Structure 1
Amino acid sequence: MRNWILPEYISDVLPSEARQIESMRRRLLDQFTLYGYEQVEPPLVEYVESLLTQQDAALDLKTFKLVDELSGRQMGLRADITPQVARIDAHILNRQGVTRLCYTGSVLCTRPDGLLSTRQPRQIGAEMYGCADLAADVEIIELMFASLAEAGIKDISLEVGHIGLFNAIADAANWQGEQRQAAFNALQQKDTPTLAALSVKLNEELRTGLMALPTSYGDVSILERVRSLLPALPQITVALDNLQQLYAALTVRGIAVRFDLAELPGSYYHTGLVFNAYAKGFTNAVARGGRYDSVGEKFGRSRPATGFSIDLRSLTSVPFPARKAGILAPQGEEASLLEMIRSLRAQGEIVIVDLGVEQSEVHVDRTLQQKEGVWQVISL
């Protein structure tokens, strides 16, 4: 007898978990609707060039590829839905004003994000296109918090960074290609020895600024401290001002903020603010987001954009109400029995027809029995 073993970091979703994922999916989509976000459903597979918004080595590495037998072209299984939504906004909808879109669906990655992650997340997210104002980022973060609360997540903390700080230093250092990627990876991992080795030929101002980023973590006071350590570049001033303004706007809304200036996303399409939401009991971030203003450029429209995403499968450890107990009904063709079953289901009751049911394997606490010619629901 053969062992049916699934690939590493790939797993089945069994009934109780599937019920929880589907319940959260519906509730979160309803939450998005309250904010004016419209749902789109991109395809699971596309030509590879459509799945990568630019030369994104990280996303390219995570994308499964195959050959389309109809066209002979290379196709990819999506590893991230954001580039697809950007294509829809830029190439299909072509709206002139602000566009709010949301989505949900499975993605497939060649490798997991961590030891406790899956390679087939169930992604759900919301994105706003066409607004460069900080108000768009504030709305997205507010919606992210409301969505996590709707999913039953409590004690949420927000960490915010800005990729513009690293980009400004890397541009001033004229880092390109592998050298820039190596510095990006080292900062992402807070690998200060590697950063020190890579920056040894930089002038003192750039080197001091770069080495300050991995240790720049904490409350709002960290922003003032790094102003004196980072080089006086226009991009850096704008980024720090942006972070300060975001702090003020979120504080008014009761959202506490901490900063991590070495917080960098895994994909290259982000251009500004980046943020992660963490919660007690979870090893990894429960939601991620940020600004990606050039994401639609490849599709002909470089519109400002910001958004967040959640992996629904990662949230299934949250306490969830037990499944409602059902009613066990006998099998039969009698009209009154069939009408009673239909009536109970119309009232929202779960009715399981006994076609060979083992009561220990189903969740029922009542049975449908006929007494004196009338069908009645009887407690077990």
Structure 2
Amino acid sequence: MPNWLLPENIADVLPSEARKIEELRRLMLDNFRLYGYELVMPPLLEYLESLLTGAGEDTDLRTFKLVDQLSGRMLGLRPDMTTQVARIDAHLLNRASVTRLCYAGSVLHTRPSGLHATREPLQIGAEMYGHAGLEADAEIQELALASLALAGFTDVRLDLTHVGVLRALLENCPAAKKDEAKLYAALRAKDVPDLQALTADYAPLVRDALLALPNLYGDIDVLKKAREVLPDLPGIARALAELAALAASAIGRAQVAIDLADLRGYQYESGAMFALYVPGLPNAVVRGGRYDHVGEAFGRARPATGFSLDLRELARLLPTAERKHSIRAPWGNAPELKEKIAELRKSGEVVIQSMPGHSHELDEFECDRALVLDEHGSNWILKNLG
């Protein structure tokens, strides 16, 4: 095997793509800061038990594991940064007030999440801790939509769901509670025959509600239908009210859809969940929601809500970045030349000094001007190359 080959679903990022990704990262992090989110940088690896605390079985399966040669303990390479940031809030910062944190960095997956997905996503996201009210969910949802707008996506679909609906039903049926994992899988796949078999011995009220969930998807009117066909339980009423409020806050910024069976991340989340879709990609580009219970595992229960996205996947949807206008300068050590180049770079111009004996072919930069001596040979001036 040639020693330059990379593992499957792992790839280098070349200049034009890297530039798009980095510009997106800077735009989003700067915007997070405008909302009051502080940047944190969790480590790439940590002890496995800490990394998987509060996470579901899916996270465990996605985690690369290795033995620490210093301690002999198992380490994990992070597959997601959300639990790490929750640990920072609960264990290190330990603030009593509302805390807003953001992050950006590579994560690693043992298997790709989709057919053409990378196993090394560049994850960026924002989390809010300390406020249990719907205002926090609304701000996180707004920030996620603003992040896509910064990337140039205005045709966005917002899908909303709520784990409170299923959990309210399970609380009222011990038999269903025992089948929680199977019910979750069947609902996520919208597998009605499997649901019918699973719910055959349940109380009629719970059985009918569970069988109705796969068909409760569509526009905002689905919430009205859900109130008609689902039992009048406090947990369900609260969940539907929260979904209505979040849908209303997104009107005008996204096309809103409701899907009460889309419970991706059910084991991890604790309230309203959302996903954002854009043209050109079948999978969600952003996923977020409430996950209040994660901080408990680190010794401090804190309300929490947030979102994340993969910058590499998002950048693939964008057009190739335009070549950066730049200035070509000759190689030389003359003080006047070096002073002029330094002055131009300080003002934000890209100045590329040509190496002796090489052509001026460049992929990412377009030299539309050149630094040349004037007709008297005494001053360096800019000349348009046309």
Give the structure-1-normalised TM-score: 0.94
Question: Secondary structure of the equivalent of 2:159?
Answer: strand
The answer as to whether partners of 2:9 and 2:112 remain within 8 angstroms in 1 is yes
Alpha-carbon contact 1:9-1:117 (below 8 Å) kept: yes
**C-alpha displacement of 1:347:** 1.7
Cα distance between partner residues in 2 of 1:313 and 1:101: 21
Q: 1:1-380 alignment to 2 at 5 Å?
A: 2=2, 4-54=4-54, 56-174=56-174, 179-251=179-251, 255-266=254-265, 268-316=267-315, 317-319=317-319, 321-355=321-355, 357-362=358-363, 363=365, 364-371=367-374, 372-373=376-377, 374-380=379-385
Q: Could you tell me whether the CA contact under 8 Å between 2:55 and 2:268 is conserved in 1?
A: no
Distance 2:179 2:298 in 1: 28
Q: Larger deviation: 187-196 or 370-379? A: 370-379
Q: Deviations over 1:239-263 (max 9, x none)?
A: 1222223233444x75542211112
Q: Distance in 2 between matches of 1:359 and 1:233?
A: 71
Contact 2:372 2:380 in 1 (8 A): yes
Are the aligned partners of 1:263 and 1:274 in contact in 2 as well (CA < 8 Å)? Answer: no
Q: Distance in 1 between matches of 2:281 and 2:184?
A: 26
User: Residue 63 and residue 217 in structure 1: after superposition, are their counterparts in 2 closer, same or farther (change >3 A)?
Assistant: same
Q: Is the 8 A contact 1:293 1:306 kept in 2?
A: yes
Secondary structure at 1:148 match in 2: helix
State the 1:3 CA deviation. Answer: 5.8
Following TM superposition, by how much is the alpha carbon of 1:84 offset from its aligned partner in structure 2, in angstroms?
0.5
| Greater mean deviation of Cα atoms: 91-100 or 179-188 | 179-188
Q: How high is the sequence identity, in percent, across the aligned residues?
A: 53
- Structure 2 CA distance for aligned equivalents of residues 254 and 330 of structure 1: 50
Distance 1:327 1:275, change over 3 A: same
1:67 to 1:322, Cα distance in 2 relative to 1, 3 A: same
Question: In 2, are the aligned partners of 1:159 and 1:258 still within 8 Å (CA)?
Answer: yes
> Per-residue displacement from partner, 1:218-249 (whole Å, max 9, x unpaired)?
12221121223223433222212222232334
TM-score, length-scaled by structure 2: 0.92
Amino acid at match of 1:168: A
Cα distance change on mapping 1:337 and 1:131 into 2, 3 Å: same
Cα 1:129–1:358 shift into 2, 3 Å: same
Runs of 4+ in 1 over 6 A off after TM superposition: none
Cα shift at 1:39: 0.8
Query: Separation in 2 of the partners of 1:230 and 1:112?
Result: 37
Query: Following the alignment from structure 1 to structure 2, what is the Cα–Cα distance between the partners of residues 166 and 75?
Result: 34
Which range moved further: 149-158 or 190-199?
A: 190-199
User: How many pairs align?
Assistant: 379
Which moves more between the two structures, 238-247 or 355-364? 355-364
For 1:104, the aligned partner's letter is: A
Q: Which amino acid aligns with 2:182?
A: A
- Whether the aligned pair in 1 keeps the contact of 2:155 and 2:254 (CA below 8 Å) is no
What do residues 315-342 of structure 1 show as CA deviations (whole Å, max 9, x unaligned)? Answer: 1122364131222222221111111211
Offset of 1:2 from its aligned partner? 2.2
Amino acid at match of 1:296: G
Task: Give the 3-state SS of the residue equivalent to 2:161 in structure 1.
Answer: strand
Superposed CA offset, 1:125-159 (max 9, x none):
11110111111111111111111101111211111
Other structure's SS at 1:116 match: coil
The answer to whether the Cα contact below 8 Å between 1:112 and 1:118 also exists between their aligned partners in 2 is yes
> In terms of mean alpha carbon deviation, does 217-226 or 63-72 score higher?
217-226
**Distance (whole Å) between structure 2 residues aligned to residue 207 and residue 177 of structure 1:** 12
TM-superposed deviation, 1:176: 8.3
Counterpart of 2:324 in 1: which secondary structure? coil
- SS state at 1:257 partner: strand
CA contact (8 A) 2:192 2:214 kept: yes
Paired with 2:6 and 2:37, the residues of 1 have a C-alpha distance of 36
Q: Secondary structure at the match of 1:361?
A: coil
- Is residue 250–residue 256 contact of structure 2 (8 Å, CA) maintained in 1? yes
Find the aligned partners of 1:30 and 1:174 in 2 and give their Cα distance: 48
1:57-94 Cα deviation digits (max 9, x unpaired): 01111111111111111110111111001001100111
The change in CA–CA distance for 1:40 and 1:267 in structure 2 (over 3 A counts) is farther
Supply the distance in 1 between the matched residues of 2:62 and 2:123 (Cα, whole angstroms).
15
User: Which one-letter code corresponds to 2:239 in the other structure?
Assistant: A
Kindly indicate whether the alpha-carbon contact (under 8 Å) linking 1:54 and 1:269 is maintained by their aligned counterparts in 2: yes
Please give the root-mean-square deviation of Cα atoms over the aligned residues, in Å: 2.0
Quickly say closer, same or farther: Cα 1:284–1:319, change in 2 above 3 A: same
On the 8 A contact 1:58/1:268 being kept in 2, the answer is no
